[in-house]
Structure 1
Amino acid sequence: MKTRDRAAPDCVHVDVADGFRALSALLVLWFHFWQQNWLRPEIATPFLAPVGIASIDLEWLPRSGYLFVDALLMLSGFCLFLPVARAVEERRPDAGRIDARDFYRRRAARILPSYLFCLAVILLFRILPDWPYASAGDFWTDLLGHLTFTHSFFRASYLGTQLNGALWTLSIEAQFYLIFPLLARWFARAPLRAWAVMNGISLAAVGALVLLRPDLWMWINQLPLQLCTYADGMLAALCFVRLARRERRAKWDGLFFSALALACLWGVAELVKRQGRAPNLQLGQVLIRLPLSALFAALLACLALASRPLRRLFSNRVMRFLSAISFNLYIWHQYLAVQLKWRWRIPVWSGELPPNQTGDRAWQWRYTAVIHLAAFGAAIACTYLIERPCARWILKRGRKKEEAASS
């Protein structure tokens, strides 16, 4: 029996995207914090001791947490293309045509306030007082690379940056924003062909890296290798809208997509575990990117179509709040963790070896508490005092200019 579903998924705001973004950002945060505190996540299971399972070791999750940066980039492709996917499904003649000026203004309002504030704070309170550069040329390469979002092109501003290592993703995002209006129009007209070509470019780049074996650190996250993640997100948006807007929906659709989502989640976990065991982490990351990206995209689309109880796990007040601050949380968490430990030595420690290397578990837990408080405090402050007020000002100013030009 089929029935019209009055509670069909919202195709304007995909509720589970909040939780997907929040959890992905938290897993990246866990990886960077694990690098500094060395706390092994292990759950004691004495009730399973009779069958030989005294504990469950979860270290594979933070060990490979950097893989979830790809999940965030895939989500970016999904969210950017979602309005186009709705237009395609509605068969609008202008589907895929994006007002480039409005698009770039909105992207600027989204990322520039927090990004430039971060650069300004680090420049004023870290770079100028301590001057960690070997030469003025290195400084200008680093600074100008970040100001023009080209810092992923240069070793000094990418691998050797003295600003904030986590900001490399903004370089990739900005480069993708630059070509997105053209990609969106192409994807709207021929989605499978566009998806195949974008994945083909990434696959060819992977093949070149595997054969040539250059400096993988420098190349594994460049835009050609990340095109597959964006393409998967864009195709997932189109599939989601098409499935969500079916006029008649099967009674058990929610359970079916919930089962598919859990299967995708299991697949993601298996690939993440495999990456943790890879003898060459950079090469392993390159080789699993295409299947992992596809699983991330399928997971998001299936979650958005799943039963309400599963969707509620990814869409609730906590997830919405974490999603709201996730951008600034991503920007600040690693930088603050490193500065607190190595520059300011907070919590206090002495000697050449930090306490995590000497087995001081009390210090490890205190340090973990401090860096969480610092990261979340900075994220909340920057989101509500910098990002949102500045974004409103940028968008309001843009509207006034358009109104003045049209009058």
Structure 2
Amino acid sequence: MTTDRRDPAPASPTAGGAAPAAPLDGRAAPAAAGAGTLAARNYLPSLTGLRAVLAFVVFGGHFTALGLTAPHGTEARSFLQRALEVLFSYPSVAVSGFFVLSGFVLTWIAKPADRARDFYRRRVAKIYPVHLVTTVAALVAVVAAFGWPAWTILASHALMLHAWIPSQFAYFGLNVVSWSLSCEAFFYLCFPLLLALLPRIRARGLYAVLGVCLLSIFGLPALVGGTFALARPDSFEMVPTAGGGGPFVFWFAYLFPPARLPEFVLGVVIALLLKRGSWRGPNVAVSLLLCVAGWALNYNLPGYLHFQAGMVIPWMFLIAALVRADLEGRWSPLRSRTMVWLGEVSFSFYACHLLAQEQLSIRIGIWMYGRGWVPDNTVTWQWYQALPFMLLELAVALLVAWLLHRVVELPLQRLLRPRPRTPSAPATAAEVPAGTG
């Protein structure tokens, strides 16, 4: 999911909004190495690095779904497949992290003088060019394999409305991962109103808002799913929905933009509490341990709960802890130059990686099968075949993402974004890419 990026210079974060230059408790900047500089620039590189981690989880989830070392029709799983399933079975939790991060960064960089039309224009400049290019690429692949899709599908993807339609032929019809951009478009539409209302609430009230959001994430899909059902469910499912509560609950809990809005609001609330010095949470090390525990919990949750419920609270704690670490010059494992670079290209990577995976799996799989190197073109590979193939897919997806970032994302962002009315504020956290598949 994406947030604002007004200064697209490589390896520098988003310019555009004023955030507190002092540490979160309002005292003078600490004298630790680099801490004063970080606080003065409002530069949050660890959040950029977190984007890279989240994008890799989504990539790993899609690779795991290929089941290259899991023979069809059996319960057999190789050690590699079992390890991949433990690490990547639920990439949806990474999308939840993106949504929370998106709300946080947009709020952190917001300026009181920002106009809604400028905000919307920056959002379009950031996400739509990459969305359009990857959608066209997906369309070419779909037409080559199946023929032209319905014009309603094309229109819904072009207008970023496809996640509103409870049919997999609509929300997964072209570039599968772009459903989360449809959610982000709705979040952006709501953001000026949220920013006008939520800062008026006192800290205790903000914690109440946080609690309501968590309750809705955990309970609303079950409540709605017990009341409604799809009148005409898909005759064929590209992604099985039985384990997620059936066609309606799967769509409502996973893809329906208003149902995902609470995660975005959580990010907004955390940013407001941090700005006021009212946030209470653990440090980075404890937050990472909570993420490990949440991951294990999420792996064992039933039904729709595994979409985000197990990890949404650990993501909240981790994001806030990483911000504190960057502003106060404390330890963070995510602010290295490599992690920041990966985070900078993560939106383009997210948008193109599944297309690259699909084409490589089909073409190289058929080529290897033709030479008798694998039993068939998609499954029952040995671990020493599947693991290098995963690394190959990652390398190709990163290369395509870098090209997309340099040729499409940054140039068109410069061209389409509004010109600042006043000199830009120093940079802060970089854009957050959307969602998953």
Q: TM-score range by the shorter chain?
A: 0.7 to 0.9
Using a 3 Å threshold, how does the CA distance of structure 1 residues 28 and 144 change in structure 2: closer, same or farther? same
Partner of 2:313: 294
In the aligned structure 1, how far is the partner of 2:27 from the partner of 2:120? 42
Partner of 1:78: 104
Deviation at 1:325, TM superposition (A): 0.7
User: Any gaps of 5 or more consecutive residues in structure 2?
Assistant: 1-25, 70-76, 228-244, 423-437
Runs of 4 or more off by more than 6 Å in structure 1? Answer: 39-43
Number of aligned pairs?
A: 356
Matched, 1:211 2:226: yes
Deviation at 1:236, TM superposition (A): 1.9
> Which one-letter code corresponds to 2:58 in the other structure?
V
Once the two structures are superposed, the pairs formed by residues 35-184 of structure 1 within 5 Å of their partners are 35-36=65-66, 38=68, 59-84=85-110, 95=112, 98-123=114-139, 125-132=140-147, 138-156=149-167, 161-184=172-195
- Conserved 8 A contact 1:42-1:59: no
In the aligned structure 1, how far is the partner of 2:413 from the partner of 2:400? 18
- Conserved 8 A contact 2:125-2:413: yes
- Conserved 8 A contact 2:46-2:334: yes
| Selected match of 1:24 from 54, 62, 82 | 54
Partner of 2:23: none
In the aligned structure 2, how far is the partner of 1:210 from the partner of 1:267? 30
- Conserved 8 A contact 2:49-2:339: yes
User: Any gaps of 5 or more consecutive residues in structure 1?
Assistant: 44-55, 88-94, 247-255
| Selected match of 1:188 from 199, 202, 219 | 199
SS in 1 for 2:396: helix
In the aligned structure 2, how far is the partner of 1:347 from the partner of 1:69? 33
- Conserved 8 A contact 2:100-2:315: yes
Deviation at 1:358, TM superposition (A): 2.4
Using a 3 Å threshold, how does the CA distance of structure 1 residues 261 and 130 change in structure 2: closer, same or farther? same
In the aligned structure 1, how far is the partner of 2:285 from the partner of 2:84? 19
Matched, 1:375 2:397: yes
Partner of 2:285: 262
In the aligned structure 2, how far is the partner of 1:110 from the partner of 1:226? 21
In the aligned structure 2, how far is the partner of 1:41 from the partner of 1:185? 53
Using a 3 Å threshold, how does the CA distance of structure 1 residues 100 and 358 change in structure 2: closer, same or farther? same
| Selected match of 2:323 from 304, 321, 333 | 304
In the aligned structure 1, how far is the partner of 2:292 from the partner of 2:367? 34
TM-score (norm 2): 0.72
- Conserved 8 A contact 1:61-1:273: no
In the aligned structure 2, how far is the partner of 1:41 from the partner of 1:197? 42
Partner of 2:343: 323
Q: CA RMSD in A?
A: 3.4
Using a 3 Å threshold, how does the CA distance of structure 1 residues 12 and 72 change in structure 2: closer, same or farther? same
Map Cα deviations across residues 311-346 of structure 1 (whole Å, 9 max, x no partner).
Answer: 2x2112111110111011111112221222135636
Map Cα deviations across residues 38-83 of structure 1 (whole Å, 9 max, x no partner).
Answer: 468979xxxxxxxxxxxx9574121233311110111100111113
Partner of 2:306: 285
Using a 3 Å threshold, how does the CA distance of structure 1 residues 225 and 382 change in structure 2: closer, same or farther? same
SS in 2 for 1:220: helix
Question: Which is greater in Rg?
Answer: 1
| Selected match of 1:348 from 368, 374, 383 | 368
In the aligned structure 2, how far is the partner of 1:158 from the partner of 1:78? 32
In the aligned structure 2, how far is the partner of 1:237 from the partner of 1:158? 37
Partner of 1:50: none
Map Cα deviations across residues 11-62 of structure 1 (whole Å, 9 max, x no partner).
Answer: 733221111111111111111112225468979xxxxxxxxxxxx9574121
In the aligned structure 1, how far is the partner of 2:273 from the partner of 2:383? 48
- Conserved 8 A contact 2:130-2:409: yes
More helix by share: 1
> Which one-letter code corresponds to 2:355 in the other structure?
Y
Q: What is the aligned-residue identity percentage?
A: 23
Partner of 1:228: 262
Partner of 1:49: none
- Conserved 8 A contact 2:96-2:312: yes
TM-score (norm 1): 0.76
